Structure 1
């Protein structure tokens, strides 16, 4: 079990006991809409997401040290089925944070720490990341962490809210 820490955050595996907090934030329509997934409809659904999607060893809860509450997630996948032009061996990074914590540097801090971990412990050659073009704040997080725009735009109808909604692609080489 990998746990990482920054000045304000602990990045740790998700727990079943986080389901209430996850539902509180992931049921907010603006969160899922920006991240490409539908809002959670119940605590049970959030618990199931923890047990399936968030059970990966490369997905962490973003937890505020001050409160111990999970307020978002950061992670990466070495294989994925999205309409994104990835290179062989490239992993895809992703993150989200609860709306009350937008524009506070939380995602930048969490993503930077995860990148440090990847560089120090894996052989992954590069990361790819994307954001819907109507969410430029997410692109700024990526750029602050060293991601470079590829100039590519993709549309992935499989993403919740992705139909005819362009995504900007960025890459970080190690």
Structure 2
């Protein structure tokens, strides 16, 4: 998938060094519920396992061809946090700290939402963030998700209990959002 500034493509084993560069930062993983990568070998293992799942993409800058983050669509039969039905999915994402605040992840999420609703014909898409992850919350809000509920004492992949906030977008929400955006663009 291509956006204005990004290519979303499957992860390659040759991406391990770039993945480690950004995923080893202690400000990235723990707030999202995963441990910082400890080595390039650790990152390679993640590429071969977690990132080998269908619909998991490297967020690659068109200008440099470097992967600087990850995003993906998770279904009810795989690893996910939201309590969803078979025709729903959850979107997850992260990006390296040097790229925070540039609107790159909302751009990637927009591409994933288009895939979910226009190609995979899903009924709804979920997105969530742990309490305190204000950057992730901002992406969710920018992308047009609507707050749905909060789970207290949710166990993160790190094994600790956290408060997790969930947001949802239906296909109808998505279509209405894009009609409104087109109207604003036409003005």
Whichever of the two has the greater Rg, that structure is 2
Q: CA deviation at 1:81?
A: 4.9
Given the superposition, is the C-alpha separation of residues 81 and 11 from structure 1 closer, same or farther in structure 2, using an over 3 Å criterion?
closer
Q: Which runs of 5+ in 2 are unaligned?
A: 172-187
- Which residue of structure 1 aligns with residue 176 of structure 2? none
Q: Deviations over 1:17-55 (max 9, x none)?
A: 000000111111111012211011111110111011111
C-alpha RMSD of matched pairs (Å): 1.6
* TM-score of the aligned structures, taking structure 1 as reference length: 0.91
- Which residue of structure 1 aligns with residue 41 of structure 2? 44
Given the superposition, is the C-alpha separation of residues 83 and 6 from structure 1 closer, same or farther in structure 2, using an over 3 Å criterion?
closer
Q: CA deviation at 1:107?
A: 0.7
Given the superposition, is the C-alpha separation of residues 110 and 83 from structure 1 closer, same or farther in structure 2, using an over 3 Å criterion?
closer
Given that 1:82 and 1:156 are in contact with CA atoms closer than 8 Å, whether structure 2 keeps it comes out as no
Q: Kindly indicate whether residue 39 of structure 2 is the aligned counterpart of residue 27 of structure 1.
A: no
Looking at structure 2, the residues matched to 60 and 28 of structure 1 have their Cα atoms a distance apart, in angstroms, of: 19
- Which residue of structure 2 aligns with residue 108 of structure 1? 106
Provide the secondary structure at the position in 1 that maps to 2:59.
strand
- Which residue of structure 2 aligns with residue 86 of structure 1? 84
Looking at structure 2, the residues matched to 155 and 102 of structure 1 have their Cα atoms a distance apart, in angstroms, of: 28
Q: CA deviation at 1:59?
A: 0.6
Aligned partner (choices 90, 93, 96) of residue 94 of structure 2: 96
Looking at structure 2, the residues matched to 142 and 158 of structure 1 have their Cα atoms a distance apart, in angstroms, of: 19
Provide the secondary structure at the position in 1 that maps to 2:154.
coil
Looking at structure 1, the residues matched to 79 and 50 of structure 2 have their Cα atoms a distance apart, in angstroms, of: 14
Q: CA deviation at 1:83?
A: 5.4
Looking at structure 2, the residues matched to 80 and 166 of structure 1 have their Cα atoms a distance apart, in angstroms, of: 21
Report which structure shows greater RCO (CA 8 Å, sep ≥6).
1
